[in-house]
Amino acid sequence: MSVYFDPDIKAIFAPYVQLMLQVSIATDQGVFSLDLSNYESVCRLSQRIKIAIEGYKPESKTAHPMPPRKSNGDDNPLPDEQIDMYNQWLKDGMPESEGAEAFSGPIV
Amino acid sequence: MIRHTLKTLIGCMLLIVLFAGQISAQVIRKNIDSLTAVELATYEHAIQLLKDRSAENPYDLQGYAWQAWVHNKNRVTIPAQNTMKQGDMIPTEFYKKAAQEVYADGTYGYPGMCEHGKDIFFIWHRAQFYYYEQILQNTDPEGTIVDSKGNKYPTKNLGIPFWNFTRKASGKKFPKIFEDQNSVLYHPGRNIEIDPKDTSFTSPYLLSNLLQSDYWAVFGGYPNATNGGYGTFESQIHNPMHDKFIGGDMASPSTAAYDPIFYSFHAYIDYVFEAWMEQHGKEKITSLNYFLRAQQPEQFHLPNHNPGLGDRPNMGQANLYLDISKLGYKYQVRGKDRFYNAAEIAQFLTDSKGRPLVLGVSNESPYYKLFTYGVQRKPESDIGELTQQTLTIDAVNPEVPYIYTYTESQPTTSYQVDIYMHPVNVKAKIKSKKFREKYFVRSANAWLDEMHGDHIMGGHKLNVDLTEAINALNQNFSGEEYQITVNYTKQ
């Protein structure tokens, strides 16, 4: 089954859109906002998102995972199946929706 | 002949004028304790003017609040017309309130996000300070503006004074002026406890020893693109100075720059960065093409400033900030501000009979002496969480260093790891001073706070380079089984 940004990936990230808009991501191309509801923004920063969400996996050496801690202080990891879905979407070439053209901009 | 002499004379005069112009374009950053009374008053005046601006409008990019937010705050809402005034509020409380305010007619501003735990730690702070110094110099260049304390001094030649925190303080714990409650440099809430017999918290020998490392990542931090990791300077010196020694607002990344001591503390750190480059060159420094996030006054952008492709404000690329002569300042260091060289460190690392300290053999580990001699800093004697792993001692190629990495998901408070290397048949007795003295090899600290969510995707890994310790053990214990014991404690 194919994975698309809209609705699959967008739905995973929906709860975190507002908080992540506060963050500025520094790269060697410039400093970018991260709008998790926006296809181009997610594609552009897709590798950084991958590092961040995989931080929850036990074997990962990556800290600073996304999504952030809940307001009550509890950890708030993405379930493994959602991380797997995101990775599958990357592997599929990050399609926006069925039949749409794939992202062709720079990944930073 | 006369014409030739005249030409030469004019040429020489022109050169002198040009040279003098170049010198005067570089302000001098001095040890804060060596400032004259007028120089100190000038610095206080400039900071007071910044605070006066923020009292009237906390969203002024050239005010004290905004400049503190460059380090502390990702995003604020800026009203179309500011009506917030400080009035009788305590300045820091006012700044915190202004940072949280949301305005229906407002637009977003992005003061900044400090870079920590990666290779752009030094250069990001250098860029922050470039703007801060320019702003200070331009508060009252000719000394014509009276601040709210009734003072006026020309600020055009002002350089940020540094605090050499590896030396005994001129005050009880900090440079005297930071302890003077009448000074704008005073900030309530700092941890003021210190044992009078200790000269400082950080040993100048430890710092000098770290400076000897030729490996940029080990000293300065691991590449941004690989999700970073603290270098030795940051985790062993910078972080514990913030959260263990100074405390108060300086204990947290989210509030640190509200305390004026932040600027003198980091001015010295910038001097350390410069010293590393003088010893080892600039070629090995990584991530210099990265853009440095912060919203600063555009009139102070460097001539080659290029904002890049992103949609957020920044201070340009890191490589703009390598040469301090182009940033308009230089350091004046005297006597005790200089670092120890390798021979002096070797001489220091001897026992009472003058024999070199040998890890695993001498009763005192050379690292223990580096960390603790004459200073307040000691490894934790309380047991936190212990983790252990076994290692067969063998030579490590410094080009492929042995790095112990500690990380935890979403930590909310600072923590420290003290690392010991001991034979497997020696039990780890953290509470025993003898054990700590003999087997201690490293202490590293992660500087974090509850607002850490703001730093999401910034990278946090506590890397501790054990290469040197393993190679030291290899000289006497090659092939033997050793245990690495890590004592994790919350700060």
pLDDT digits (tens, 9 = 90+) for B83-93: 999 999 999 99
What's phi and psi for B89, nearest 5 deg? Answer: -70, 150
Nearest to A30 among B75, B314, B410 (CB): B314
Total CB pairs under 8 A between chain A and B: 113
CB contact under 8 A, A31 and B458: no
Record: contact A24-B113, CB cut-off 8 A: yes
Sort out which chain A residues have CB atoms less than 8 A from B461's CB and list them. 61-63
CB contact (8 A) between residue B292 and residue A66: no
In the block, which residue shows the tokens 């250098």? B126
DSSP label of A4: -
Q: B250-283 burial string, b = 16+ CB within 10 Å, else e? A: bbbbbbbbbbbbbbbbbbbbbbbbbbbbeebeee
Measured between CA atoms, how close is B269 to chain A, in angstroms?
A: 22
B413 touches B491 (CB < 8 A) = yes
Per-residue model confidence as pLDDT tens digits over B310-333: 999 999 999 999 999 999 999 999
Instruction: Compare CB distances from B453 to A26, A32, A69 and report the shortest one's residue.
Output: A69
Is residue A30 within 8 angstroms of chain B, CB to CB?
A: yes
> What domains, with CATH codes, occur in chain B?
25-335 (1.10.1280.10), 349-490 (no CATH)
Instruction: Report d(CA B144, CA B159) in Å as an integer.
Output: 19
A27/B457 CB distance under 8 A: no
Question: How far is it, in rounded angstroms, from Cα A58 to Cα B4?
Answer: 80
- On chain B, the residues whose CB falls within 8 A of the CB of A56 are 409
Picking from B80, B61, B79, the residue whose alpha carbon sits closest to that of residue B69 is B61
Q: Which strands make up the sheet holding B481-490, listed edge to edge? A: B385-392, B481-490, B415-423, B440-446
Stretches where chain A sits below pLDDT 50 are: 56-58, 60-65, 71
- pLDDT tens across the length of chain B (491 residues): 445 555 545 444 444 433 333 334 799 999 999 999 999 999 999 999 999 999 999 999 999 999 999 998 999 999 999 999 999 999 999 999 999 999 999 999 999 988 988 899 999 999 999 999 999 999 999 999 999 999 999 999 999 999 999 999 999 999 999 999 999 999 999 998 887 777 789 999 999 999 999 999 999 998 876 667 889 999 999 999 998 899 999 998 889 999 999 999 999 999 999 999 999 999 999 999 999 999 999 999 999 999 999 999 999 999 999 999 999 999 999 888 999 999 999 999 999 999 999 999 999 999 999 999 989 889 999 999 999 999 999 999 988 888 888 776 556 678 899 999 999 999 999 999 999 999 999 999 988 876 544 444 444 678 888 999 999 999 999 999 999 999 999 87
Strands B415-423 and B481-490: antiparallel
Rounded to a whole number of angstroms, the distance from the CA of B308 to the nearest CA of chain A is 4
d(CA B7, CA B19): 18
- Among chain A residues, CA nearest to B407: A63
Contact criterion met (CB < 8 Å) for B291 and A27: yes
Cα distance between residue B349 and residue A89, in whole Å: 56
Structure tokens at B83: 């009506």
B291 → closest Cβ in A30, A62, A69? A30
Cα torsion B329, B290, B249, B96: sign: positive
Q: What is the residue-wise DSSP string for B260-307?
A: THHHHHHHHHHHHHHHHHHHH-STT---TTSEEEB---GGG--TT---
Nearest chain B Cα distance for residue A102, angstroms: 21
CA B56 from centre of chain? 30
A27 reaches B (C-beta below 8 A): yes
Interface with chain B: mutation pick from A17, A22, A24, highest number of B CBs within 10 Å: A24
Please indicate whether, in this complex, the C-beta atoms of B410 and A33 are within 8 angstroms of each other.
Answer: no
DSSP state of A101: P
